[in-house]
Amino acid sequence: MKFDKRVKLTNNKVLNKDGEYVVYWMQNAMRVEYNHALNYAVKRANLLGKPLLVIFVINLKYPEATTRHYKFMLEGLSEVRQELKDKNIKISFLIGDALDCVLDVCEKASFLVAEKGYLKHEIEIRKKLSSKVNIPMFEVETNVIVPVEEVSNKEEYAAYTIRPKINKLISYYALELESFEINKDSLNLKVSNEIEFNVEDIMKLLSVFEDKYSSEFKGGISEARRYLDDFIKNKLNFYEEKRNDPSLDYQSNMSMYLHFGQISPLEIYLKTKDEKNSDHYIEELVVRRELSYNFVYYNKNYDNYRSLPNWALETLEDHSRDNRKYIYTLEELENFNTHDTYWNACQKQMVTTGKMHGYMRMYWGKKVIEWSNDYKEAYKVLIYLNNKYNIDGRGPNAYAGVAWCFGKHDRPWFEREIFGKVRYMNENGLKRKFDMESYLKKIGEKRQ
């Protein structure tokens, strides 16, 4: 296993030889297998002769999270708990502010392992933790195949600029992880304030937006692997040709499992790369996905309009006063109440199932731009809706996806009203390419 470039010591504190345990703070890689951070923590704990304590902090008001996100996350954690137990490793669940909870547990620890973060709030909390904690802190990168700083030291312009950089390094990093065993059982360790883990009880404590729809997807590694196996067996071979058609179901459904780190991109990559016709899938899973990580890591405006390239900002400014035929309020959009049946259908798909089809996300975003007076407002609305209803929302792909609708990672096209040189999409394109009646029927059959 190549740990060298995945692991960073983030402070120069002295190791506490008398610590009772080693701590791994699990946050965005909620899995046991293909988890470099967990592997690293076990390896170092064994070397030191200490048990390993895994902790997970449940923040009842996590930024933008809604009940569908929590439920999916907790379902996954329930499996993690069992898998760790089978390996004689304790996971303690705490409720509260992550910084305070991790610092408390670290009082009795020898050192701390955490995963690397990419979004602003993830980076911020790691910085604070690293300076406040009294023990060494290691950050381990496990949610991308090639470590983000190894790929590039700057924001990449588009897929064509990052692709060769990733391709050069991928065989070095895409390696199976060694299986591991902990030497010292930690199941009897007790942490003050730890809670009994029970999904229903925790759900009752939440004070976030409550869904009237229960999502179609269940969280956890078993479900992720069930979808993945079915995809490899029945769909991967036809992915290039059929994935864009919203009336069909030829995507892998990995996005939400990847978002919560319930499955590793490395596992998916290793299982698909040698299959027939897997190139297009690998392009999405690795190049496009890791371009999104590069985007949020190096562009601190990733969550707002200022993230766009100059050509897009300039052309949009030139068209900011163009006449708009339709303008919709957030309420009308949220309740799929526009004149456009296809748009209403995909918004409804996202609200009622927790996942909008990939091709429709592009159309969806473009239309909100067309129906808003103000591009900045449209940007905010798209992030708000995407993150509230897609289970895979709130991560690097969400921000890159919305930015793409405004020209990010794309190129200038022919100039036209409202969009300027930013790529445009219309319903005739949908009708020409796909059986949209069938898509409508499929969504119409969903719950109202």
- Closer Cβ to ligand FAD, 252 or 372, answer by number: 252
Q: How many helices, marked H, and strands, marked E, lie in the chain?
A: 21, 6
Looking at the DSSP bridge assignments, the partners of residue 139 are 8, 114
Among 161, 225, 332, 358, binds ligand FAD (CB under 6 A): 358
Q: How many angstroms from the chain centroid is the CA of residue 132?
A: 27
Residues 293-352 touching ligand FAD, rule: CB under 6 A, are none
- Closer Cβ to ligand FAD, 147 or 393, answer by number: 393
Q: How far is the CB of 380 from ligand FAD (least distance, A)?
A: 13
Alpha carbon distance 36, 38 (integer Å): 6
- Closer Cβ to ligand FAD, 35 or 292, answer by number: 292
Q: How far is the CB of 291 from ligand FAD (least distance, A)?
A: 7
- Terminal CA-CA length for the chain: 49
Residue 95's CB: how many other CB atoms inside 10 A?
14
Alpha carbon distance 147, 150 (integer Å): 5
Residues 175-204 touching ligand FAD, rule: CB under 6 A, are none
The site string for ligand FAD over 395-434 (x = CB under 6 A, - otherwise) reads: x-xx-xxx-xx-----------------------------
Q: How far is the CB of 407 from ligand FAD (least distance, A)?
A: 12
Of the listed pieces 39-47, 339-347, 384-392, 427-435, which binds ligand FAD according to CB under 6 A?
Answer: 384-392
Alpha carbon distance 39, 3 (integer Å): 10
Among 292, 352, 353, 372, binds ligand FAD (CB under 6 A): 292
Of the listed pieces 24-32, 93-101, 295-303, 389-397, which binds ligand FAD according to CB under 6 A?
Answer: 389-397
- Closer Cβ to ligand FAD, 20 or 334, answer by number: 334
Alpha carbon distance 23, 111 (integer Å): 6
Q: What are the start-end ranges of the E strands in 86-143?
A: 90-95, 109-115, 137-140
Q: How far is the CB of 289 from ligand FAD (least distance, A)?
A: 4
Residue 138's CB: how many other CB atoms inside 10 A?
22
Q: Does 284 bind ligand FAD (CB under 6 A)?
A: yes
Say how many CA atoms lie within 13 Å of 233 toward its Cβ: 6
Q: Does 156 bind ligand FAD (CB under 6 A)?
A: no
Alpha carbon distance 392, 402 (integer Å): 13
Q: How far is the CB of 358 from ligand FAD (least distance, A)?
A: 3
Q: Does 390 bind ligand FAD (CB under 6 A)?
A: yes
H-state helical runs in 133-215: 148-151, 159-173, 199-205
Among 136, 147, 365, 407, binds ligand FAD (CB under 6 A): 365
**Polymer length of the chain:** 448
- Closer Cβ to ligand FAD, 142 or 252, answer by number: 252
Q: Is 196 exposed, middle or buried (0-12, 13-18, 19+ CB in 10 A)?
A: exposed
Longest dimension (CA), the chain: 70
Tokens encoding 413: 């096209």
Alpha carbon distance 236, 244 (integer Å): 13
* Spatial contact of 154 and 298, defined as CB atoms under 8 Å apart: yes
Tell me the site size for ligand FAD, rule CB under 6 A: 29
Q: Does 392 bind ligand FAD (CB under 6 A)?
A: yes
* Spatial contact of 416 and 424, defined as CB atoms under 8 Å apart: yes
Of the listed pieces 98-106, 160-168, 200-208, 360-368, which binds ligand FAD according to CB under 6 A?
Answer: 360-368
The site string for ligand FAD over 113-152 (x = CB under 6 A, - otherwise) reads: ----------------------------------------
Q: How far is the CB of 369 from ligand FAD (least distance, A)?
A: 10
Q: Using the 8-state DSSP alphabet, how is residue 195 labeled?
A: B
Q: Does 96 bind ligand FAD (CB under 6 A)?
A: no
Tokens encoding 35: 């988890």
Q: How far is the CB of 130 from ligand FAD (least distance, A)?
A: 28
Q: How far is the CB of 31 from ligand FAD (least distance, A)?
A: 15
Q: How many angstroms from the chain centroid is the CA of residue 342?
A: 26
Alpha carbon distance 257, 284 (integer Å): 15
Q: How far is the CB of 148 from ligand FAD (least distance, A)?
A: 14
- Closer Cβ to ligand FAD, 115 or 392, answer by number: 392
Footprint on this chain of ligand FAD (rule: CB under 6 A): 243, 251-255, 258-259, 284-285, 288-289, 292, 358, 361-362, 365, 386, 390, 392-393, 395, 397-398, 400-402, 404-405
